[in-house]
Amino acid sequence: MSASECPEYPVAGREGAIASPHYLASLAGARILQEGGNAVEAAVCANAVLGVVYPHMCGLGGDLFMLIYSAREDRLLGLNASGRSPALATRSFFSQRRFTSIPSRGILSITVPGAVSGWSVALERFGKRNLGELLEPAIHYAEEGFPVSFRLSHWIKECSTLLSLDPESRRIFLPGDSVPAPGQILRQGDLANSLRAIARGGAEAFYRGPLAQAIARFCERRGGLLRAEDLASHRSDWVDPIHTSYQGYQIYQLPPNTQGLAMLLELNLAEGFDLAALGLHTADYIHLGAEIKKLAFADRDAYLTDPDFAQIPVEWLCSKEYARRRIREIDLYRANPEPKPGPSLAGDTIYLCTADGEGNLVSLIQSLYLPFGSGLTVEGCGIVLQNRGSYFSLREDHSNRLEPRKRTLHTLIPALAFHRGRPYLVFGTMGGEGQPQTQFQVLCHLLHFGMNLQQAISSPRWLMGPRSLGDPPCLYLERGIPEEVEGGLEERGHSVRWVERGAEFFGHAHAIQVEYRSQGRIYWAASDPRSDGCALAW
């Protein structure tokens, strides 16, 4: 079903809401909320289900980030549950073996998975229910199976060569050496047992118990660098969100090592222009958005990495003064082929959001990075390991260069916006480097073009960048954007490519909007028709 054929209205409720990229996850999280659970508990439950029914995008072997608004404390908190590189991961290891970059797949691309720790830390602070109870739906779908969606069938087919290289991945995801057809029941018994181990033993079982030992043995036997000590030393961190103001709204993101700063840079640059006057989906509007993205990403690539390894001028980069300096480099009539970073003062992911009756909100994002991550599944555990280590650079002069026990720059960015001191929008998307661009467009659709929440998400999008690893950067337009803009964009120097309507390449955006009325608070929730998801509210 294309985006244009989907409902153009969000759902509304007063007691709770959830939006996620798979209907089974939305249903599981909604049940937690309806049974009296809070937004954090519902988010963890839904995330665990997604790790089963969307195994190409997320799971126990991936990383996680959250923004959590606590209504009782009237406070917004950030949680960084991304893992670090192994202690044995050095640039010399790769240079001695004549690598010029870290392999995008396979055993050498693996970093410590942080998601399970993130669940545990979030629930320790905000949870009333134990983790075992919240994992029951995920265990059920792993043990009893679930109908494969059209999109999952598609991605297994797309990644069949990768999956067939690993005996365990082939056994699970290519049963009988064939791609599961839509509607076929997929069971993951080993994953169910791993989830049970975590339900009984918590994060300790994953990072120091039998699962940790199995992961470490698997990696060492395959010639990888991850060891039991790397898992045992992992920690997730509470962090202070960063923010900027835009059109009277306060937009919050997580700080580095995420690329959240890039989205804030885009907003600061956009504030110097009248976007509504340019018109929705015009050549002028798309050109400006593409040029803004280029500048923001030039700064991202120059400055952002693990803050434990470098001093990052976040306050300066987020400032309006910095944006005023950078905006001079935007030519409204010509594309900048190679924007440089400004001066310093010194493929795949899931996103979901939840809201509860107390006013608590969660913006959660979790990923294996590329579809099926490293392509490797731990034998006897059913855990697909992420390939986030491939995002490191082997260049010594690169800000995101590989170093032992370092967090790489992350594309994962949950977002949350406030208006007049109160929560206004919980939003985010999957889509790798497209995440800041999609978030920017959804927000502009709401604030400048009068769309409701579902329209803001369903509306056709553009993205600047490569479609996949190794592709040249192009300006990609989703069908539904007027075809006549192509000429105006090419005249400005853009290489334009059209993509079918509803393509996952443009991300899975989901959101909950909070409206305050005299009768009380209303939650509006919307899910992206480019996913298998749904939004629920009551």
In the structure encoding, which two tokens stand for residue 124, read together? 């320790």
In DSSP terms, which residues pair with 28 in a beta bridge?
A: none
Alpha helices in 271-413, H assignment, sequence order:
275-278, 283-303, 314-317, 320-326
d(CA 64, CA 122): 11
- Using N-to-C axis directions, what is the helix angle for 39-53 and 189-207, rounded to 10°? 130
Place of tokens 């079903």: 1
Single out the catalytic residue among 244, 258, 305, 349: 349
- The helix or strand, by DSSP H or E, that contains position 352, with its residue range, turns out to be strand 349-355
Q: Are 480 and 399 in contact (CB under 8 A)?
A: no
Using the 8-state DSSP alphabet, how is residue 148 labeled?
A: P
* Number of Cα atoms under 13 Å in the Cβ half of residue 247: 16
In the structure encoding, which two tokens stand for residue 287, read together? 């050109």
Residue 295 burial (CB count, 10 A): 23
In the structure encoding, which two tokens stand for residue 338, read together? 């190679």
Strand 361-367: give its sheet, edge to edge: 237-239, 75-81, 63-70, 361-367, 349-355, 17-20, 534-537
In 82-172, beta strands by DSSP E: 146-147
d(CA 208, CA 197): 12
SS (H, E, C) 364-376: EEEECCCCCCCCC
Confirm whether 349 is a catalytic residue. Answer: yes
Question: Which residue, 152, 174, 157, is CA-closest to 21?
Answer: 152
Q: Are strands 520-527 and 185-186 parallel, antiparallel or unpaired?
A: unpaired
DSSP 386-442: P-GGGGSB--TT-TTB--TT-PPPB----EEEEETTEEEEEEEE--GGGHHHHHHHH
Catalytic residues: 349
